[in-house]
Amino acid sequence: MSIVLIPVTVILSVSFVGWLIWRAVKKKPIKIHLVMYGLSGLTGIISIVFFMTMDIPTIAKVLGAIVLGGVFIFLGARTQRRRQQSQP
């Protein structure tokens, strides 16, 4: 199963970057929240693929991916809050 997930992750990453380039070439506005949602989704998929290819029990892989995702969400929210507070 994890062998199939690696090409899917690569295809999704390349398509996301291609979409950003296409929007830039067409000179359409790129909203930052769309970029962040895309990066968050890709990061989640890559994390799951990374954990699923390890030689440990599946439940540990899933729990590790959930905890790591929670840590990244917390760090992202904290960073965003600090930047918003520092702007006048």
pTM of the model: 0.51
Q: What is the pLDDT of residue 88?
A: 65
Would you kindly state where each structural domain of the chain is located, as residue ranges? 2-86
Tell me which DSSP letter residue 26 carries: T
Query: Nearest-CA neighbor of 44 among 16, 84, 82?
Result: 16
CB–CB of 2/52 below 8 Å?
A: yes
Which tens digit of pLDDT belongs to each residue from 27-63? 888 777 778 777 877 777 777 777 777 777 777 777 7
CB–CB of 72/64 below 8 Å?
A: no
For Cα atoms 6, 19, 46, give the angle at the middle one, nearest 5 degrees. 25
